[in-house]
Amino acid sequence: MADTLFTNVRILDGTGDQPYPGEVLVQGARIKQVSRGGRSVGGHAQTVIDGAGATLMPGMVEAHCHLSWNNQPSLDAIQMMPTEEHTLFTADMAGLLIDAGFTSAVGAASAKPRLDVVIRNAIKSGQIAGPRYLAGSQEIATVGGLGDTSPPHLDFPELSFGHLVSGPEEMRAAVRQFIKYGVDLIKLNLSGEEIAGVGAEETPMSDEEVAMAVSEAKRRGKRVAAHARSSESVKMCIRHGIELIYHASFADEEALDMLEAAKDKHFVAPGLAWLIKTATEAADYGVDPNGPMGMMYARERDIAIETMRKMHKRGIRVLPGGDYGFAWIPHGTNAQDLEYLVDKVGMTPMEAILSTTKHGGAIMGMPGELGQIREGYLADLLLVDGDPLSNIRLLQDKRRILAVMKDGSFHRAPQASSQSRQTRWAG
């Protein structure tokens, strides 16, 4: 890791302050010094990046990531991919995500029991390229709930997309098994999902099962995330202290009041792109926009957007990310969520960027060292051609992301002309 100086950059630091011209010195894995205006940082760097006025901002965080979703049109197609091919695919998706500017990601569930753990470890060891990653468990689902995809005439639970349980003791065994595998997060399917044949407003998992899962996870210092579309499932998350709430489309006023009262304890990642694109762009994969399934997703889309607008106004943390990895919402397009947070939810571009940087650092469990350009913070940085505050869509264009740095090392360095020890962006 060579010391790196970014000079002649416009710093969008992830604190909420307006961008300012300045310099940033990186030493090792961390930001050593940040200067404003014409002041120069002290010392010498082995590598100098002249940004030529480009924006330097923190790396983005994907709050609801499924690296092992394999860009197929169904849960069965994901589950039935052989393990060997699935591992290679997931490794490729890790590289694609960091290449798109996401330097950290929360694994919201793995398609196979140990797949997230294996990929996390390979990233951490440097064996493969990828974002800083929290490994999720396989989805834990109730028999007959979302994730139970085994045929009714065959008693082979291993054919199911999720890890199936029935009752608190089976839940205890499942959580302990995934902790043994080495996961960072336990994922519970509290509610349903229309495309999987279980109504989104249904809540198949019982309070007793949820209480057992949370108790076992917290006993071992693990965090819990939940697929929670129904209003009751959101309330269950709050009652049981489930920190990461995914979707929350149908949260009613009581659920919103409960969530607002505990807003410093929870994160919500609604996965709006999934709803928007499933309602309108999945016709080639069997979801006719004018058919029953398309109309159900259009209804949920409209309700979820209004719900997220209410959450945002109440100061509840709404973050980007969710369910990328299906055929009509492929990996690498994840930054589209930021556009939806602005255009649909009513966030300002600054608020959307804070949702994936400052709040992203918090959802990663690293609020004091990730997601901002501040001295002592980890050097996860993007050099962007243009101003994302003027055009949030810039972050969807990989050509405009000139450089990606994680932990002080370049995943992708800027185009450069090397003369002695000087490196300049030749944009």
Co-location of 298 and 397 in the same domain? no
Tens digit of each residue's pLDDT (9 = 90 or more) over 110-124: 999 999 999 999 999
SS3 (DSSP) at 254: helix
Co-location of 178 and 324 in the same domain? yes
Co-location of 86 and 38 in the same domain? no
The whole-chain average pLDDT of the chain stands at 94
pTM summary value: 0.94
Return the DSSP state at 136. B
| Residue 404, domain CATH | 2.30.40.10
Please state whether beta strands 422-425 and 47-50 pair in parallel, antiparallel, or not at all (unpaired): parallel
Co-location of 414 and 268 in the same domain? no
Co-location of 132 and 225 in the same domain? yes
Domain coverage including residue 303:
60-334
Co-location of 37 and 91 in the same domain? no
Query: What's the structural domain count of the chain?
Result: 2
Tens digit of each residue's pLDDT (9 = 90 or more) over 7-18: 999 999 999 999
- Please state, for a pLDDT cut of 90, what percent of the chain lies above it: 88
Average pLDDT over residues 390-418: 91
Tens digit of each residue's pLDDT (9 = 90 or more) over 134-174: 999 999 999 999 998 887 877 767 778 899 999 999 999 99
Tens digit of each residue's pLDDT (9 = 90 or more) over 322-377: 789 999 999 999 999 999 999 999 999 999 999 999 999 999 999 999 999 999 99
pLDDT at 115: 97
Length of the chain, in residues: 427
Provide the pLDDT confidence category of residue 427 given band limits of 50, 70 and 90: very low
Provide the pLDDT confidence category of residue 53 given band limits of 50, 70 and 90: very high
- Answer whether 167's CB lies under 8 Å from 209's CB: yes
**Long-range CB contact pairs, 262-268, < 8 A, 24+:** 262/238, 263/314, 263/315, 263/316, 263/317, 265/241, 266/237, 266/238, 266/242, 266/316, 266/317, 267/63, 267/243, 267/317, 267/319, 267/359, 267/362, 267/363, 268/308, 268/311, 268/316, 268/317, 268/318, 268/319
Q: Token match 């994969």: residue?
A: 285
Q: Is residue 349, in this structure, part of any structural domain at all?
A: no
Provide the pLDDT confidence category of residue 77 given band limits of 50, 70 and 90: confident
Q: Is residue 351, in this structure, part of any structural domain at all?
A: no
Provide the pLDDT confidence category of residue 94 given band limits of 50, 70 and 90: very high
